[in-house]
């Protein structure tokens, strides 16, 4: 029997009880998510589809494929979480496109820097908590973390996850 979203959140929350660790996660989890979308967006799939010279080729990437597969994972758990995570993913992809197209800083460099800094924050938070990160137990928790953060936003807005 597969786990419900409530069960996933309960298990994830077990190693996220400390107030400081939670605050760190509210910043670092979305940052890591954003940086991963940025890095994956640089792996183009457009040449496979014959759209390499399209103005939309940035969006035809490994990031888009992972977003679709993640949506399938989330929709099996919760419709509202799936829609929210899809929206967050699309916004992240679009913001990464803006960084990429601005030319101010290479997207790969920006993404790697914030990825590393956010993981340092995460591990500091878990050191404060005194518990290992959930994904050491099950890699699927890497998908649950962003949804868990979203569930707090939903609760504030009166939306049931």
pLDDT score recorded for residue 129: 84
**Chain-centre distance of CA 70, in angstroms?**
10
**Least reliable range by pLDDT among 30-39, 113-122, 129-138:** 129-138
pLDDT score recorded for residue 39: 97
Residue 42 has pLDDT above 70, yes or no: yes
pLDDT score recorded for residue 89: 98
pLDDT score recorded for residue 57: 78
Mean pLDDT of 57-63: 88
Mean pLDDT of 69-93: 97
pLDDT score recorded for residue 109: 98
**Using 50, 70 and 90 to split pLDDT, how confident is the model at 47?**
confident
pLDDT score recorded for residue 52: 63
The 10s digit of each residue's pLDDT in 147-157 is 999 999 999 99
pLDDT score recorded for residue 54: 66
The 10s digit of each residue's pLDDT in 95-130 is 999 999 999 999 999 999 999 999 999 999 989 988
């Amino acid at each position: 029997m597969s786990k419900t979203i409530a069960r996933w959140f309960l298990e994830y929350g077990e190693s996220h009880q400390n107030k400081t660790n939670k605050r760190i996660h509210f910043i670092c989890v979305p940052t890591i998510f954003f940086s991963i979308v940025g890095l994956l967006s640089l792996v183009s799939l457009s040449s496979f589809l014959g759209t390499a010279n399209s103005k939309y080729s940035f969006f035809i990437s490994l990031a888009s494929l992972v977003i679709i597969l993640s949506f399938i994972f989330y929709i099996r758990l919760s419709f509202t979480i799936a829609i929210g995570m899809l929206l967050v993913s699309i916004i992240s992809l679009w913001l990464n496109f803006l960084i990429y197209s601005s030319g101010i800083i290479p997207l790969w460099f920006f993404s790697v820097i914030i990825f590393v800094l956010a993981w340092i924050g995460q591990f500091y938070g878990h050191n404060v908590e005194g518990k290992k990160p959930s994904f050491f137990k099950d890699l699927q928790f890497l998908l649950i973390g962003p949804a868990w953060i979203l569930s707090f936003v939903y609760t504030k807005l009166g939306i049931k996850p």
